[in-house]
Amino acid sequence: MSRDRTQSAESDASAGRLARWWRLFLELAKFGTVGAVAFVVNWGLFNLLAVIPGAWFGAQPTRARIIASIVATVVAWLGNRYWTFRQKRSDQPLKEFIGFVLVNLGGIAIEAAVTWFTAWGLEYRSALATNVAFLVGTALGTIFRYVMYKFTIFNQKK
């Protein structure tokens, strides 16, 4: 009988691990979906402001990047608060939003630094180089944001 209990305990442990991995997968899928929507907002606005002919900030891609990132931050907060991390959100949305904004300032700083380095450090200012810098900055900023959201902003147990 002890062998049956051991097998049952191992089976329960495996099911628990599988359930945790599945929850993580679903959370990452939701985070990715919200991120994709925010990315489209960010990229589209950035290109409108900095890349297309006659853009307002054509000579200032870093400023355009910051403005586009701020708008995308609001979109991402709404999606993450009300969908991705809805079971872990705070009861104090203003405090949560302020923390979210602070985390995103770090992400924006990473993105802007990549854009700045490409445009001014490497002196690559073509539309292609600007968009490659956008993608690299977005990837690095996204990794930073996910880790910070999960462990500092949306970590309430409900």
Residue 77, judged by CB atoms within 10 A of its CB (0-12, 13-18, 19+), counts as: buried
Quote the pLDDT of residue 83. 93
CA-closest candidate to residue 40, choices 64, 72, 63, 8? 72
pLDDT at 156 over 80: no
Domain boundaries, the chain: 28-153
Contact status, residue 30 vs residue 37, Cβ threshold 8 Å: no
Rounded average pLDDT over 138-142? 90
For the chain, give the mean pLDDT: 86
Quote the pLDDT of residue 3. 64
Q: How many CA atoms lie within 13 A of 25 on its CB side?
A: 6
Quote the pLDDT of residue 66. 84
pLDDT digits (tens, 9 = 90+) for 21-80: 999 899 899 999 999 999 899 989 988 888 877 777 777 788 888 899 889 988 998 999
Please give the model's pTM, rounded to 2 decimal places. Answer: 0.67
**How far from the centroid of its chain's Cα atoms is residue 123's Cα?**
27
